[in-house]
């Protein structure tokens, strides 16, 4: 019955542990969609450019200490401060490719020992992604990749726990069909092909659906 040609953009999220190829694939997808003529924007969390993001950066680079709950809430606030812009873009028809989001927020904080349900509370009501592309890689493999060990959370034992916590979040998700788990050990090109297929499908299928909120 709805003959409107209005199309909203898709919220495509990349999640996973450190050094699993999220940024590489998110950037490749961004370039691909742009060349194909899609209205598309790239977003990365933490967004280190805002005042909150600068505090997060100081924490991650070990230049500032913060209570575990305080930093958790700052990561969450860093998403909230971007919501109005993201919402406007999506409603205006722009697809947003997001590198990390609330699932990282909960997984990393809960892996430090904070209560998982407490961790989820501050993200309730954020926009819900249309798809979560989860880059799954064994910690042995991610550790071999360049740069591992530079920032606060880049430690093998901790990443192992984070990976398990991500799996738990997927399991607990009311709509776990949202999660597309990819074997991140595959070649960059092979992964890109799968991600393009998933993304074009989502862009097409969510264009007439209302935006959803996380609950
Ligand atoms: P990045 O390496 O993708 O820039 O992310 C920086 C680190 O911050 C990474 O180890 C994951 C962690 N993180 C959280 O702990 N909570 C969050 O909410 C986000 C978005 C990232
Ligand atoms: Mg990192």
Domains of the chain: 11-206 (3.40.50.300)
C-alpha of residue 1 to centroid of ligand 1, in Å: 43
Say what the pTM is.
0.96
Beta carbon of 46 within 6 Å of any ligand 1 atom: yes
Burial 11-22 (b: 16+ CB within 10 A, else e): bbbbbbbbbbbb
For 50, the 3-state DSSP assignment is coil
In whole angstroms, give the CA distance from residue 72 to residue 109: 6
For 6, the 3-state DSSP assignment is coil
Beta carbon of 105 within 6 Å of any ligand 1 atom: yes
Beta carbon of 100 within 6 Å of any ligand 1 atom: yes
Per-residue pLDDT of the chain (215 residues; tens, 9 = 90+): 555 678 999 999 999 999 999 999 999 999 999 999 999 999 999 999 999 999 999 999 999 999 999 999 999 999 999 999 999 999 999 999 999 999 999 999 999 999 999 999 999 999 999 999 999 999 999 988 876 777 999 999 999 999 999 999 999 999 989 999 999 999 999 999 999 999 999 999 999 999 998 87
Q: In this structure, are residues 54 and 48 in contact, taking their beta carbons and an 8 Å threshold?
A: yes
Token pair of 1, please?
Answer: 């019955």
Beta carbon of 123 within 6 Å of any ligand 1 atom: no
Measured from the alpha carbon of residue 162, the closest ligand is 1
pLDDT of residue 145: 85
Task: Tell me the torsion sign for CA atoms 28, 131, 103, 42.
Answer: positive
C-alpha of residue 46 to centroid of ligand 1, in Å: 6
| Ligand 1 atom nearest to CA at 102 | 18
For 208, the 3-state DSSP assignment is coil
C-alpha of residue 127 to centroid of ligand 1, in Å: 18
Q: Is the peptide bond before 46 cis (omega within 30 degrees of 0)?
A: yes
Beta carbon of 60 within 6 Å of any ligand 1 atom: yes
pLDDT of residue 3: 55
C-alpha of residue 32 to centroid of ligand 1, in Å: 25
For 92, the 3-state DSSP assignment is coil
Beta carbon of 80 within 6 Å of any ligand 1 atom: no
Closest by CA to 120, choosing from 173, 58, 46, 49, is 173
Q: Give the DSSP letter string of 124-184.
A: TTSBPPSEEEEEE--HHHHHHSTTTTSSTT--HHHHHHHHHHHHHHHHH-TTGGGEEEEET
pLDDT of residue 2: 54
Neighbours of ion ligand 2 (CB under 5 A): 18
Closest by CA to 79, choosing from 99, 61, 60, 59, is 99
For 40, the 3-state DSSP assignment is strand
Angle at 185 between CA 108 and CA 171, to 5 degrees: 45
pLDDT of residue 6: 80
In whole angstroms, give the CA distance from residue 134 to residue 60: 22
Q: Which backbone phi and psi does 4 adopt, to 5 degrees?
A: -60, 145
């Amino acid at each position: 019955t709805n003959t409107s040609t209005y199309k909203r953009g898709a919220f495509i999220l990349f999640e996973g542990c450190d050094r699993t190829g999220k940024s590489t694939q998110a950037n490749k997808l961004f370039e691909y969609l742009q060349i194909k003529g899609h209205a598309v924007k790239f977003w990365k969390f933490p967004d280190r450019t805002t005042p909150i993001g600068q505090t997060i950066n100081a924490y991650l680079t070990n230049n500032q200490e913060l209570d575990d709950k305080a930093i958790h809430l700052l990561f969450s606030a860093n998403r909230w401060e971007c919501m109005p812009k993201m919402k406007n873009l999506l409603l205006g028809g722009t697809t947003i490719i997001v590198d990390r989001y609330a699932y990282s927020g909960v997984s990393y904080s809960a892996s430090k020992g904070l209560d998982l349900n407490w961790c989820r509370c501050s993200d309730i009501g954020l926009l819900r992604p249309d798809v979560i592309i989860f880059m799954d890689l064994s910690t042995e493999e991610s550790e071999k990749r360049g740069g591992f060990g530079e920032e606060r959370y880049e430690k093998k034992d901790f990443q192992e726990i984070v990976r398990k916590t991500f799996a738990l979040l997927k399991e607990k998700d009311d709509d776990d069909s949202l999660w597309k788990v990819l074997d991140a050990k595959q070649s960059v090109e092979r992964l890109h092909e799968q991600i393009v297929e998933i993304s074009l499908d989502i862009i097409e299928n969510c264009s007439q659906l209302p935006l959803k909120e996380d609950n």
